[in-house]
Structure 1
Amino acid sequence: SFTVLRTSWREITWGDNKNALQYLKNFRPQNEEANHIRVLLYGPVGAGKSSFINSVNNVLQGRMTNEALASNTTSDQSFTKIYQTYQIKKGSKGNFYPFVFNDIMGLEDGDGRGVRTDDIKNALKGHVKDGYKFNPVSPLSDGDHGYTSSPSISDRVHVLVCIYSANAAQMNQSVLQKMREIREAASELGIPQLAILSHVDEACGETERDLKNVYKSKHLKKKMGDFSSSLGIPMNCILPVKNYSHEIQLNSDVTTLILSALRLMIDFGDDYADKL
């Protein structure tokens, strides 16, 4: 029995997704040297990184798709081991939106599993080639096959996005430590950071019943507050999202939250790329 606040604690316009879609259709990076804005997603295994990319793809294609294959395994070994760039088709004839996503294999506990912090630092600076297979035992270094020694503005990461599940148990200390290291590396480079709280419907009955309760749910507000203080990301940089999972058609409210998160990512990344 979750309780809801009488009024939303954050303003969001439901039902009008046309403007946000149009904004993204018209978007071009301010920096003419940037072909695209690069968004790097990271977070624990199963937080919904691949599902988020899928969901963005659904929203922008205006239909259900199955592009970034998400792993449905329950093991804590991460599915994504390769540094892969996901582009999103725009209309026909090989056009793509001028923003791309990279997703880093999950941050597993313990050494020898999950991605190394050094590799993430390399990725942030644009040194990691597309298709590079992460090696949990040794980080990538200059001279290696997967290493780009002089990255372009487009190779670099312009916004770092942490994805964490609202349904997850207490965050493991070693995973939290890795997340903090990644955040520090991005902060040193001045890269803007956002966080997405996924699976909000599973974590709160009232939100599951009606997604419009997402900013009225006391439980989710507390989850976001805890997440904000444990990771040091301000509340206004944390966005709740429900990824498309079992649906067979698009849903206006699900889309609203995804577009709201996407638009902020693109704007934050664009401002950073413009300064490079």
Structure 2
Amino acid sequence: MGEDVVRGARVLITGGARGMGELYARRAVAGGARSVALWDIDAPAVVALARDLSASGVDVRGYRVDVSQRDDIGAAAQTLRAELGVPDILVNNAGVVRGAPFWEHDPERDIEATIRINTLAAMWLTREFLPELIADRDRAKRILNIASAAGTLANPNMSVYAASKWAMIGWSESLRLELARAGHRHISVTTFCPSYVSTGMFAGARGPLLTPILTPRQATHAAWRGMLRGTPLVLRPWTVKLAMALRGALPTRAWDAVAGRVFHVYSSMDHFTGRAH
């Protein structure tokens, strides 16, 4: 189907004010979307971007939404239905990262907030619109869930972030299988698992051996193409798939040695600083 999936579609992108969210929005506009809704907690930034993209002639609107709050999602969904209609394409992009030993994480600010934003928000949002997506068979529907390579392999200083992305992958893949089993094949679910992306969220992190840090354009290109094709799982770069295979084939202690001493996976977050607030 290619770009036909986007042309004339209503698109919703969370975390849409900047970074990869902004690039997804620009791809939706370039693909001929009917409308694009951008949700972000940064109201001035998301409204400014929507105003800029609207110059293309596409109806782009920015909304201040805190996706860590289920009530916020419900209220924003009602507004969206009234103003633009039910989205045909959901891009669950919003995310945060906290890099530290687990015992240094604040239970509310770090642990709960990470799970709410990285995992529960995507579930809540998808559940909000999914019955309507299932009922409307007039056009192909897409759900793009942005997970992470951290959801495929354990890594020191990423315990809560990795847990949130492992949950995202498990839920996203299970949802894909449930929809297929129930015969709702007009809806495709794509899970994107990139290694580090240079958006600023992972400032200070170092890519493991043979694993370059992706640019936001490289990452969004791979994810968007996978979404258009309905590819179930998109892994970038190629070493993510290699690491998954080795982790499955080797005994745990042997993998620990390879990951730590050869590929330097386990030290990749040692100098993490993250995005300045």
TM-score bracket, shorter-length normalisation: 0.3 to 0.5
Higher relative contact order (CA 8 A, sep 6+): 1
TM-score with structure 1 setting the length: 0.42
